[in-house]
């Protein structure tokens, strides 16, 4: 069942998105060598709860924390804890906010101190792949067109795209029907129409696309140990394009 949202419902999701953006901004300000991923989780949880919202991920299928923290070769779903971030690391933070009955979901990958040029290129290209994907979010185009846009940008830079994990429908539930791939041919999958709300979330690896799940049952890493970056926005399809509900203004 694909739930299309009214403009009022999209506006409600955007309110969750604003809390999420504020949380991401606080996390960006906090990321530095010496901080632990557990401290980032605490910062996010207090920002979300102080706004009267709930972290979408805490307790989701038993997930033990408020955000996912995925450093270096961790792709997604890393569990915050005692790991200390070091100069030269990259850290993906994935945040979900549940506010007045609606979810928003967004992720960003930040540099920790000074990172090498290849890592900086990975972040730049992954963010650009998200922008290219969102440029294809409009009525009449298909979700396969969105995935194809990600793959084009990432592979042109010599990187690879994770295949087993993808974006998703979002709304009253964190994960609703609709699989938003990050690769594959254009012209396939569902046709987008106004009122669809989706999370678009490219995961781009410096090496191969293959993944592995660690023994904790959550943490997804690159099989070859190469760096991975992750950027995500929650997007509403509008009559003439789309609106990013988790838009971050340049700071
Ligand atoms: Mg997310
Ligand atoms: Mg998501």
Quick one: fold of 7-244? Answer: Creatine Amidinohydrolase (3.90.230)
The ranges assigned to domains in the chain are 7-244
Question: Does the reported pTM lie above 0.85?
Answer: yes
The predicted pLDDT at position 179 comes to 96
The predicted pLDDT at position 251 comes to 84
Cα-to-centroid distance, 13 and ligand 2 (Å): 14
Percentage of residues in the chain having pLDDT higher than 90: 98
Q: Is the pLDDT of residue 103 over 90?
A: yes
Cα-to-centroid distance, 36 and ligand 1 (Å): 20
Which ligand is located closest to the Cα atom of residue 165? 2
Which ligand is located closest to the Cα atom of residue 230? 1
The predicted pLDDT at position 195 comes to 98
Helix, strand, or coil (residue 135): helix
Six token digits for residue 235 = 């997007």
Kind of pairing, strands 233-238 and 197-200?
Answer: antiparallel
Calpha distance 34→227 (Å, rounded): 20
Which ligand is located closest to the Cα atom of residue 180? 2
Q: Is the pLDDT of residue 159 over 90?
A: yes
Cα-to-centroid distance, 199 and ligand 1 (Å): 8
Cα-to-centroid distance, 232 and ligand 1 (Å): 6
Six token digits for residue 15 = 């309110």
| pLDDT tens per residue, range 161-195 | 999 999 999 999 999 999 999 999 999 999 999 99
| pLDDT tens per residue, range 64-89 | 999 999 999 999 999 999 999 999 99
Cβ atoms of 161 and 182 within 8 Å: the answer is yes
Cα-to-centroid distance, 232 and ligand 2 (Å): 7
Cβ neighbours, 10 Å, residue 251: 6
Which ligand is located closest to the Cα atom of residue 76? 1
Cβ atoms of 102 and 172 within 8 Å: the answer is yes
| pLDDT tens per residue, range 2-56 | 999 999 999 999 999 999 999 999 999 999 999 999 999 999 999 999 999 999 9
Nearest CA among 164, 175, 167, 174 for reference residue 149:
167
Quickly state the pLDDT bin for 1 (edges 50, 70, 90).
Answer: confident
Which ligand is located closest to the Cα atom of residue 166? 2
Cα-to-centroid distance, 96 and ligand 1 (Å): 6
Cα-to-centroid distance, 89 and ligand 2 (Å): 23
- On average, the pLDDT of the chain sits at 98
């Amino acid at each position: 069942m694909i739930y299309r949202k009214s403009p009022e419902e999209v506006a409600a999701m955007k309110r969750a998105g604003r809390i999420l953006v504020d949380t991401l901004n606080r996390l960006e300000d906090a990321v530095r060598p010496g901080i632990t991923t557990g401290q980032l989780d605490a910062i996010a949880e207090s920002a979300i709860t102080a706004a009267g919202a709930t972290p979408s991920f805490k307790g989701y299928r038993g997930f033990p924390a408020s955000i996912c923290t995925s450093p270096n070769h961790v792709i997604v779903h890393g569990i915050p804890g005692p790991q200390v971030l070091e100069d030269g690391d990259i850290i993906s933070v994935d945040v979900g906010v549940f506010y007045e009955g609606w979810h928003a979901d967004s992720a960003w990958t930040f540099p920790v101190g000074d990172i090498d040029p290849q890592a900086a290129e990975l972040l730049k290209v992954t963010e650009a792949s998200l922008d290219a994907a969102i440029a294809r979010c409009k009525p009449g185009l298909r979700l396969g067109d969105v995935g194809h846009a990600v793959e084009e940008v990432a592979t042109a830079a010599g990187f690879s795209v994770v295949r087993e994990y993808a974006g998703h429908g979002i709304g009253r539930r964190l994960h609703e029907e609709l699989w938003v791939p990050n690769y594959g041919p254009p012209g396939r999958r569902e046709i987008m129409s106004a009122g669809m709300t989706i999370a678009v979330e490219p995961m781009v690896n410096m090496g191969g696309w293959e993944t592995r799940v660690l023994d904790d049952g959550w943490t997804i890493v690159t099989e070859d140990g190469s760096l991975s970056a992750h950027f995500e926005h929650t997007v509403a399809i509008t009559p003439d394009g789309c609106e990013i509900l988790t838009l971050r203004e340049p700071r």
